[in-house]
Amino acid sequence: MQRKIHENLSKLENINRQYRRLAREGRTDTAGTLKKMMQDANDRWDNLQGQMSASLRDLRHSNSIREDFKRTKDALLSWLTEIDMQLTNIEHLSSMNTKTKIREMQRIQDEIDSRARKFDFLDEAALFLITKGDSTDAITTQAEIDSFRTYHRQVLDRVAITNARLSAMQVSGVQKMYCCVNIIMFCVFVYIFFLSIFAIHVKQYM
C-alpha cells in the first residue's frame, strides 16, 4: 500500500507543477476554483500520508510486541519445563533428605518470584495482541496464552503440593524427635527414681 501511494505521488507533484506554471502565467480561473481544488488535493494527500505513517507505526509496534511476546513465552516455557523436571527429582530422589529438599524448594520459589514481572508482561502483551490484532491473530494469540497459562498453573500447583508435603514431613520429623526425647527423659527419670530407691535400701542395711 505504501508503495502504491508513493507511485501516485509523482502524479500529484506533476499536477502541482502544472498548476504553478498556469498561476505564474495568469491562466487560472478568477473565482479561484482551480486553486481550491489543488489545495483540497494536497490536503487529502497530506492526510493520507499521515494515516499511512500512523498505520506503519502501529504495525511496527504490534510486530515488536508480537516478537517480545513469542520470545518471552518460549523462554518461560523452557524454564517451566526445567522446573517441572527439578520437581520430579525432588519428589523421587531418596538420596536427598527432607531438609535439602526444602532448601531446593525455596530456591525454586525464589526463581518463580523473580520472574513475576515477565509473567505480567506476557499477559499484558497477549491482551494487546488480542484486542489490537485482526481476528485470525487474536484467535492464535488466545490459544497460545491459554495453553501457556494451563501449563504454568500445573507447575505452580506441583510446587504448592510438594511444599505442603515436605512441610508435613518436617513437622512429622520434629514430632518424632520430640517423642524420642520424651521417651529418653522418661527412661532417665525412671532410672534416677530406681537409683534413689536403691540408695535408700542400701542405707537401711548399713
Cell of 84: 517441572
pTM: 0.63
pLDDT at 139 over 60: yes
What are the pLDDT digits (tens) for 71-120?
Answer: 999 999 999 999 999 999 888 876 778 888 888 999 999 999 999 999 99
- DSSP annotation of 27 reads -
Please count the other Cβ atoms lying within 10 Å of the Cβ belonging to residue 34.
Answer: 14
Average pLDDT, the chain: 78
Residues 112 and 156: beta-carbon distance below 8 Å = yes
Highest mean pLDDT among 6-20, 45-59, 77-91: 77-91
User: What average pLDDT score do residues 153-167 get?
Assistant: 90
174: confidence class by pLDDT, cuts 50, 70, 90: very low
Q: What is the dihedral of CA 188, 191, 197, 200, to 10 degrees?
A: -80
So what's the pLDDT on residue 158? 92
- What CA–CA distance (Å, rounded) separates 8 from 45? 10
